[in-house]
Structure 1
């Protein structure tokens, strides 16, 4: 049985590559998807498709509409969502994606460092499982196959 995992979270470092590598090391039959990680493409997709917009608000709105459509399609096709809250970047998109997973009834593994326990308490309560590390999330996925 192959599962599709949606990797929600910030796109500014290589945490997704770490997850994919750990899955390969464990020989887990997983397929991964997630948000557009090409930041320039994500920011400019609205104008790339719809043409130049009359200002930054409209540029962001057009890109957001297309990115949200992409996220909805890929998340709905996923079996599990992993949402990683890191320590460095603002996490608005992660919170939105994790909340979307909850609203869609998708199983959610929330990864968050100890210093974010309090600010994420309500979201953590809605997740199926909350862990502190990528390794713990991978152990949960591995457990599905035992």
Structure 2
């Protein structure tokens, strides 16, 4: 059995690399949002052409990023969503709530300091952990036979 795992969360740190390294011995394929921030911001104009203003540029990019995310979330067996303390994480919240709406199992990584802010979403997740290592341990448990 191979699991497809969508890694939702901020794109500014190396947490995805850590998960990929920790799962390298497991039959797991990882997907993620576009991690090249500049490409993500400009994809609308790359595909649809120049936009008349910054709002239209954002809307064009958003439609294409949402297409990518929707396809990859639907292909995934499990979603891991990381909430850290350094960045505003509206996209992470949207991806995690979409996973819940699609019935995808959700592993939520968040520090205790975000407990209150994420209490409703945490309650919808299958597992809530504090570190990527704990998230990988939860994935590893899926493959245990005894």
TM-score, reference length from structure 1 = 0.97
Note the residue ranges of structure 1 that are not aligned, 5 or more in a row: none
Offset, 1:87: 1.5
Q: Deviations over 1:97-116 (max 9, x none)?
A: 00010011000000000100
Task: After superposition, give the CA deviation of every residue in 1:23-67 in whole Å (9 maximum; x if it has no partner).
Answer: 11xx11100001000000000000000011011110000000000
Name the counterpart of 1:142.
140
How much does 1:68 deviate?
0.2
Give the aligned partner of residue 10 of structure 1.
10
1:101 alignment partner in structure 2: 99
SS in structure 1 opposite 2:34?
Answer: coil
SS of the equivalent of 1:35 reads: coil
Alignment counterpart, residue 83 of structure 1, candidates 71, 77, 81: 81
Question: Aligned partners of 1:54, 1:12: CA distance in 2, in Å?
Answer: 29
Which consecutive segments of 4 or more residues in structure 1 shift more than 4 A? none
Partner Cα distance (1:128, 1:145) in 2: 17
RMSD: 0.5
Partner of 1:69: 67
The size of the alignment, in residue pairs, is 144
Equivalent position SS for 2:76: coil
Alignment of 1:13-28 (within 5 A): 13-24=13-24, 27-28=25-26
What is the TM-score with the length of structure 2 in the denominator? 0.97
